Structure 1
Amino acid sequence: MAVEVRVPTLGESVTEATVATWFKKPGDAVAVDEMLCELETDKVTVEVPSPAAGVLGEIVAAEGDTVGVDALLATVEEGEGKAPAPKKAEPKPEAKAEPKAEEAPASADAGGETVEVKVPSLGESVSEATVSTWFKQVGDEVAADEMLCELETDKVSVEAPSPAAGVLAEILVAEGDTVQAGGVLARITAGASAGAAKPAPKSDDAPAAAPASGKKDVEDAPSAKKLMAEKGLTPDQVKGTGRDGRIMKEDVQKAASGASAPAPAPQPAQAPRAPVAASDADREERVRMTRLRQTIARRLKDAQNTAAMLTTYNEVDMKAIMELRDEYKGVFEKKHGVKLGFMSFFVKACVHALKEVPEVNAEIDGTDVVYKNYYHMGVAVGTPNGLVVPVVRDADHMGFADIEKKIGELGVRARDGKLSMAEMQGGTFTISNGGVYGSLMSSPILNPPQSGILGMHKIQERPMVVGGQIVIRPMMYLALSYDHRIVDGKGAVTFLVRVKEALEDPRRLLMDL
């Protein structure tokens, strides 16, 4: 029976992709979840797995073709490739009954069942992650649901728990390696005790490496194959460091930098980095950017390149809010179990202003403007790994206490790296508070595809003229960055003035003025 291979979900606001590379040809045997092709969007690269074991039939979308979400890529003739697919090593078909003693050490180190540790769900539109830290080593005892390692995606950190109690028998993916969603990270011998499983992988690995004198049976990583083709390298020129000699992307990068002599020549022309004295080079530290930092850098630069970004400024007298907060904060916390902060006032004021200036709550989709009749407020949170923006959904239907509780909960989850993808998607407007770090004034960068972001800043006492008298008032600068393609200057200024009016006289929020 023919099974269709279709384009998976590509992520929020992404409707099409380009077929970059096919890893299989029609007639090739494929296993379930084996990578068939790689798609490239304007944001991410997505690998498409086989939905069934069999033989790859017709390829409908060729390399270089543009395809939409759920478009047909190819077909797999189910069942026909089930026999050849697992056929990795030739000795194995005979070794089913008699030589079972050779396989025993791998799966029966201590008489227990071998359980695979798989990559957990990484969230919508996230297809791969990097192993950042292993908390356990081979031979360590582990409890069920105990955290084994931490994975880092371009958006969140995910911990991989142990599926069973036993001993960590084998680690298949080292720190720094990239893994696909659903891939196998390690193997656990369920029910075993420490010490029993440690020698097993070694005795199993030794024979596995020895026969591989000629051609190795393991398949190289798809990303490595693609990079080898780009660099003009053959598998013989690359030393694989993956399991059973599998060639990984990093191995190709090392081989390309070490083997190709012409490569160093063009590099200085492209690299803007100035030469460093030998004495200074010893005092430098080079650290690879995390996936999250790479994504932040890319998205911020994309926002600058795409949007016609402009910033308008105003200042707000915080006296009324501070007095209101001082008067009711004790009663508020006693009743609601949460402290009354400034963020709930700003969220309410922004929702109030967005209703009057709807283009700030809209986005551009091609040649259309999409107006959002809902108010999902993104609140930027600084974490040790970088800036993330969790979303407070339907803020217009929430009271002050609900907003404070939600922001507090999302802030804790963000700093612990526990935010899910769903909690960071779908925002219509963003608030960024640089004032908590002491910023007096700044121009925030848009969080695409949104059309507006409000920057809060430090509250500072300054002399102000009020009613002909010079008085000291707690003042804060506000900055609204907006996409001038959709928001005119009049709308941006009106929005900021409405926010200022609501904050300086909070009663306006109650009376919807």
Structure 2
Amino acid sequence: MLVDVRIPSPGESISEVELTRWLVSDGDIVEKDQEIAEVESEKATLPIIAPEAGKIVLVVSAGMVKVNEVCCKIDTSFAGKTPMVMSSNNNDSQPKVEVVETPKASVPGKAVFQTHEDEITDRIKVTPLARELMREYNINIDDVLNGLRRITADDVQMVKDTLNNPVVTSEKPNEAQTWERSEERTRMSQLRKKVSERLVTAKNTTAMLTTFNEVDMSRVQEIRAKYQTEFQQKYGVKLGLMSFFVRAAVEALRLHPMTNSMIDGEDIVTPSYIDMGIAVQTPKGLMVPVLRNAQTMNFAEIEKEILRLATKAREGRITLEELSGGTFTITNGGIFGSMLSTPILNYPQSAILGMHNIVDRPVAVNGKVEIRPIMYVALSYDHRIIDGKDSAAFLMDIKRMIENPEKLLFGGDDPIRKLIGL
């Protein structure tokens, strides 16, 4: 019995997706619920799951395909047979590779190696450096050949070109070398195209401006160093920097609701909830999973949800629902070593907070110069609905709550003022 496998739909508005790669080859035996391919749309990457066990018959090649189109068939009469070895890099257009075994020398030793080397020097070119390393490690040429994974079509073509157009090489270290000038052209993915469109829309539609401040990270680093082990043992996740900034941003957004707003036509929409987008770099590009109702989360819930969403995003298994929406975004360029940047808005949101790397810097503390761990933070905002005063006040509240984390317990207010009723 042949079972049709169709291209899944990432969303109602999407009629075409890109089948980026097959995870199996034509004729492979697959199991039920096995991932057999990946499709990518402008919004998310989705796996294609085998609905039944059996033998795969590929119908379409990698490339652009229609939603709900039959991409392959599964012959269930082969169900239960031994699955074939599959590679995540297989493609239906790739030929099978034949492994050619080469007899290996059975007697080790430098004398035998030298004799064997002399015998095959005329048919295999070995550089002086490679020859010296082979002597040092007591490895002969047959060992090297047997250690090669496989001979590819590119290898054959390269040898053919070399034989047809021999190039005289020189081993003189000071002789100038000629480098080939070439270009590589790669087709832009659907996700990358969508991200590009959104970035251009944000730039051309909003009146974006950025304000900056610096934050002393001493107290946060002390708390993490003191409670990291206990926190990880209790909750199973590390106490990271992001949970502090998410909680601080939640309290600052409550104090400055326009920063959590967005423009819809001629209306300003201000949600009563806070859906916090956390920018994550993935092999497919930048994605922004969303923490729903971040205003209700504690530190452990924030860390667990960020870990879950980031893992799904990097594995290409995140859903459209987990990426959509969001009322405010935090991005951390500091993990890549960025000192300062102007993050671009995640349209149609009106503000985005940028974190950066932490560097020990000399600062004035009570009239004295001290070395403190300092992070520069940036807030990019839509000046159409957020005034400069409000953006600066928002960033100052972030600074105060990060430098004094106790304030997070009292909505950003000073605990002593709360204690004495001010």
The alignment's TM-score, normalised by the length of structure 1, stands at 0.60
The equivalent residue for 2:295 is 396
Match of 1:475 in 2: 374
Structure number with higher helix proportion: 2
CA contact (8 A) 1:316 1:478 kept: yes
Give per-residue Cα distances to partners, 1:27-53, cap 9 Å, x unaligned: xxxxxxxxxxxxxxxxxxxxxxxxxxx
| Mapping for residues 261-280 of structure 1, pairs under 5 Å | none
In structure 2, the residue matched to 1:183 is: 69
After TM superposition, give the deviation of residue 375 of structure 1 in Å: 0.6
Q: 1:374 Cα shift? A: 0.4
**Aligned counterparts of 1:343 and 1:138: Cα–Cα separation in 2:** 45
Q: What pairs up with 1:250-265 in 2 under 5 angstroms?
A: none
Q: Which residue of 2 aligns with 1:414?
A: 313
Query: What SS does the corresponding residue of 2:78 show, helix, strand or coil?
Result: coil
CA distance in 1, matches of 2:40, 2:17: 5
Does structure 2 retain, via aligned residues, the 8 Å contact 1:123–1:420?
Answer: no
Match of 1:159 in 2: 47
Q: Percent same amino acid at aligned positions?
A: 48
Residues 298 and 280 of structure 1, relative CA distance in 2, 3 Å threshold: farther
Q: Which has the higher strand share?
A: 1
- Note closer, same or farther for the CA distance 1:469–1:332 as it changes in structure 2 (3 Å cut): same
Aligned residue runs from structure 1 range 14-413, under 5 A: 113-169=1-57, 171-176=58-63, 178-192=64-78, 283-413=182-312
1:186 is displaced (CA, Å) by 1.3
**Counterpart-to-counterpart distance in 2, 1:362 and 1:125:** 25
Q: Once the 2 structures are TM-superposed, how far is the Cα of residue 131 of structure 1 from its aligned partner?
A: 0.8
CA deviation digits over 1:225-272, x for unaligned, max 9? xxxxxxxxxxxxxxxxxxxxxxxxxxxxxxxxxxxxxxxxxxxxxxxx
RMSD: 1.6
Alignment correspondent of 2:148: none
CA 1:280 to 1:306, structure 2 compared with 1: closer, same or farther past 3 Å? farther
Opposite residue 261 of structure 2, the aligned amino acid is A
Structure 2 unaligned blocks of 5 or more? 82-177, 414-422
Deviation at 1:347, TM superposition (A): 0.2
Q: SS where residue 413 of structure 1 aligns?
A: helix
Q: Deviation string for 1:43-74 (max 9, x for gaps)?
A: xxxxxxxxxxxxxxxxxxxxxxxxxxxxxxxx
User: Does the CA contact (< 8 Å) of 1:131 and 1:173 recur in 2?
Assistant: no
The 3-state SS of whatever aligns with 1:191 is helix
Question: Aligned equivalents of 1:321 and 1:133: distance in 2?
Answer: 44
Distance in 1 separating the partners of 2:285 and 2:254 = 31
* Counterpart Cα distance in 2 of 1:138 and 1:503: 56
Q: Show CA shifts across 1:422-445 (max 9, x none).
A: 101111000000000000000000
Q: Could you tell me which amino acid in structure 1 is paired with residue 282 of structure 2?
A: T
Give the deviation of 1:331 after TM superposition. Answer: 1.6
Q: What is the CA deviation profile of residues 288-311 of structure 1, one whole-angstrom value per residue up to 9, with x for unaligned ones?
A: 111111111111011100011000
Structure 2 CA distance, aligned partners of 1:124 and 1:400?
A: 35
Rounded Cα–Cα distance in structure 2 between residues aligned with 1:510 and 1:402? 16
For structure 1, which runs of at least 5 residues remain unmatched after alignment? 1-112, 195-278
1:282 is displaced (CA, Å) by 5.1
Q: In the alignment, which residue of structure 2 is the partner of 1:259?
A: none
Offset of 1:137 from its aligned partner? 2.5
Give 1:124 deviation, angstroms.
4.8
**Cα distance in 2, alignment partners of residues 492 and 127 from structure 1:** 40
1:134 counterpart letter in structure 2: W
Whole-angstrom distance in 2 between the partners of 1:136 and 1:282:
35
- For 2:389, which of 487, 490, 497 is the aligned residue? 490
Work out the CA distance in 1 between the residues paired with 2:179 and 2:404: 56
Q: Which residue of 2 aligns with 1:260?
A: none
8 Å CA contact 1:321–1:504 kept in 2: the answer is yes
Q: Decide which of 332, 343, 361 is 1:444's aligned counterpart.
A: 343
Give the Cα–Cα distance (whole angstroms) in 1 for the partners of residues 233 and 72 of structure 2.
Answer: 49
Deviations 1:63-86 (Å, cap 9, x if unpaired)? Answer: xxxxxxxxxxxxxxxxxxxxxxxx
Q: Can you list the C-alpha shifts for 1:14-36, whole angstroms capped at 9, x where unaligned?
A: xxxxxxxxxxxxxxxxxxxxxxx
2:68 counterpart letter in structure 1: G
Do the aligned partners of 1:155 and 1:292 also contact (CA within 8 Å) in 2? Answer: yes
1:463-489, Cα deviation, whole Å (9 max, x unpaired): 000100000000000000000111111
Aligned equivalent of 1:83: none
Q: How many angstroms apart in 2 are the aligned matches of 1:301 and 1:116?
A: 40
Displacement of 1:338? 1.4
**Contact 1:456 / 1:476 at 8 angstroms: preserved in 2?**
yes
| More relative contact order, 1 or 2 (CA 8 Å, 6+ apart) | 2
SS at match of 1:422: helix
Give the aligned residue type for 2:52.
A
Distance in 2 between the 1:425 and 1:140 partners? 36
Give deviations 1:343-399, integer Å, cap 9, x for gaps. Answer: 110000001100111111001000000011101100000011100000011111111
In the aligned structure 2, how far is the partner of 1:168 from the partner of 1:503? 55
* Partners of 1:401 and 1:149 in 2: CA distance: 35
